[in-house]
Amino acid sequence: MTLAVIGTYAVAFCLVVGAFFALVAAIGLLKLNGSMTRLHAPTKVGTVGIGALLLASMIHSYVYAEGSMHELLIIAFLFVTAPISANFIAKVNIHKRACDMPPSPRQDKTWSTLNVPEADLEIEETGTDQPR
């Protein structure tokens, strides 16, 4: 078995795995009903699917051509930005109270996401930056 045949099988395997995960992510994005549950499909499963497809591209370029590191940079960018964007989307849903709220902590100061300064509460109530 030559390197080209092993590379072809590796590319085919990565393409099948990547396509499966991307399909599961698309179905999850369409079928899950809440924004917090829908959040997991593109950020977790979709990232793995796109990562497998990019890995297939890397293997193909190294087996049949000179090789390319562009895909590795894209994978690194996706793996860094997907959790950060998921965290921000989850925090927005918590602040808007658009989801089931987590249980209250023993001390309000420990739950930094919902700890809002009094000045910000006044701005939210009046709708302006001017104090009452």
Q: Which residues contact 74 (CB under 8 A, 6 or more apart)?
A: 54
pTM, entire model: 0.69
Residue 109 in this model has a pLDDT that exceeds 60:
no
Domain spans of the chain?
A: 3-101
Rounded average pLDDT over 124-130:
60
Q: Which residues contact 59 (CB under 8 A, 6 or more apart)?
A: 7, 10, 11, 14
Tokens of 53: 């497809």
Task: Give the model's pLDDT for residue 28.
Answer: 86
